[in-house]
Structure 1
Amino acid sequence: MPDPAVNDLAFSVRGLTKVYATAAGPVHALRGVDLDVRRGETLVLLGPSGSGKSTLLNILGGLDRASDGAAIFQGQDLTRDSDKALTAYRRDSVGFIFQFFNLVPSLTARENVALITELARRPMTPEDALARVGLSDRLDHFPAQLSGGQQQRVAVARAIAKRPQILLCDEPTGSLDSESGVQVLQALRDVSRAEAATTLIVSHNADFAAMADRVIRFRDGAITDIAVNPHPVEPREMRL
């Protein structure tokens, strides 16, 4: 019989290594990382710049390839997939949220989200996705008519509109003030819970740990600590 513990995993990472060739010599971005990620959990990845956390996120998102090791997503080894298979994986299973919103300035909030829903297999409507992040009254506003926090919430709506199994967030509040950052994190928490999405958030801000199920700390391309948070709090209760 299948191992239920294995079936409960979103990702199983073993010996994951990433080496970049530079003029100054090889740079070891990841050094044999091992990590299991359970379905539906929220992880916060902390560490200084260059510690490997964003590199791990990019490999798990199918945006970069490992030099060695394995990253298994529900039986699919992302480190050995073809480019075509990785494209399908990104399209069908992963929602990305980055520090910069990357909205199309000439399109409304509704139209920016529709760019994704037109490609997805089982999407929400743009209106539903924007309602999930509290922007029902901003459907026809252009990015220039929205605050930074509202633009990032449009980016969250765009990411979750295709109902991804995985949400990967790289410094999602890095360009926002504290109040807007809390609103974005709360939107992420609400939609990931509603969709039972596995969520990984990369940040420099140690305060993010309060909202995580587990906190993964990185240094020099390796995981130095994994801490379970027995009582995750709502972002609205956090002080950033």
Structure 2
Amino acid sequence: MSSPLAASDVAIAFDIQGLTKVYETEAGAVHALRGVDFQIREGETLVLIGPSGSGKSTLLNILGGLDRATAGSAKFRTFELTGASDAALTRYRRASVGFIFQFFNLVPSLTARENVALITEIAIDPMSPEEALERVGLADRMDHFPAQLSGGQQQRVAVARAIAKRPQLLFCDEPTGSLDSESGIQVLEAIAEVTAAVGATTLIVSHNAAIADMADRVVKFRDGQIAETIRNSRKIAPREMRW
């Protein structure tokens, strides 16, 4: 099996073929993904939108190595995620992927600097916690605890934590879902700025259709399938969006 750490000059970051995910429940089988075929280019920013249960977060979790497909294949560069061992997926997540979730998942007893250091201490070639926090506009909040920060500031700490490893991939699942509009815009600005800075391929899952305007491509999900893909002729900065 190829290493997920190997450099690649190919233009395609992900090649996804027939990707299927079925969850078995007491009520019967739930088809979260139904044979998705898709390619994602290196350095793209994609926004995945659709109703709850449409498959967008399931796809994100499989591509992030957090979940496994039932059938089909998903390849990141030369690394085949489907069929990879748990150890290989752990190395892939640690080396290549930064995650941002709706809930900040900060350690309350650690400062912003210390929360980011949790990642930089295990990353291969990280930026310093100080640099990561400066990139998201929190240079003056490094030694504050989560309880001393607003919701938007806490999410920006989570962004700093995600990008401190200089990830090749940045996966954001409802990153503004628990924030007011101004805090959400600030978080999206931080994501856009750091994505450009580290050159990451970025996927953002959101229920907020306005966020689609910041994407290179918008992917609409329905019933476990991709219903439509739209390429934006012009990306709009978060501050210009109609929230």
TM-score bracket, shorter-length normalisation: over 0.9
1:165 to 168, 191, 199: 168
What is aligned with 1:96?
99
| Corresponding position: 1:32 with 2:35 | yes
Counterpart CA distance in 2 for 1:212 and 1:38 is: 13
> Secondary structure at the residue paired with 1:151?
helix
Give me the whole-angstrom Cα distance separating, in 2, the residues matched to 1:174 and 1:80: 32
- Of residues 4, 8, 21 in structure 1, which corresponds to 2:24? 21
Counterpart-to-counterpart distance in 2, 1:236 and 1:187: 11
Equivalent position of 2:211 in the other structure: 208
Are 2:52 and 1:49 aligned? yes
Secondary structure of the residue that 1:127 maps to in structure 2?
A: helix
The answer on 1:226 being equivalent to 2:220 is no
Alignment of 1:171-210 (within 5 A): 171-210=174-213
Secondary structure of the equivalent of 1:34? strand
Q: After TM superposition, give the deviation of residue 33 of structure 1 in Å.
A: 0.4
Of 54, 65, 69 in structure 2, the residue corresponding to residue 66 of structure 1 is 69
How many residues matched?
235
What is the rounded CA distance, in whole Å, between the counterparts of 2:87 and 2:102 in structure 1? 27
Measure the CA separation in 1 of the matches of 2:242 and 2:108. 31
Matches within 5 A, 1:102-141: 102-141=105-144
TM-score normalised to structure 2 length = 0.96
Task: Report the TM-score, using the length of structure 1 for normalisation.
Answer: 0.97
Query: Shift of residue 198 of structure 1?
Result: 0.3
Tell me how far apart the structure 2 counterparts of residues 171 and 52 of structure 1 sit (CA, whole Å): 14
Structure 1 runs, 4 residues or longer, greater than 6 Å off: none
Identify unmatched segments of 5+ residues in structure 1.
1-5
1:27 counterpart SS class: strand
Q: How far does residue 200 in structure 1 lie from its aligned partner after superposition?
A: 0.1
Letter aligned with residue 188 of structure 2: L
Report the Cα distance in structure 2 between the residues aligned to 1:226 and 1:77, rounded to whole angstroms. Answer: 24
Q: Which amino acid aligns with 1:14?
A: Q
Pairing partner for 1:11 from 9, 14, 18: 14
Shift of 1:23: 0.6
- Partner of 1:122, secondary structure, is coil
- Distance in 1 between the 2:200 and 2:239 partners? 20
**Cα distance, 1:37 vs. partner?**
0.5
- What runs of 5+ residues in structure 2 fail to find an aligned partner? 1-8
Q: Render the CA deviation track for 1:181-200: whole Å, top value 9, x for unaligned.
A: 00000000000011110000
Q: CA deviation at 1:80?
A: 1.1
Q: Distance in 1 between matches of 2:71 and 2:228?
A: 22
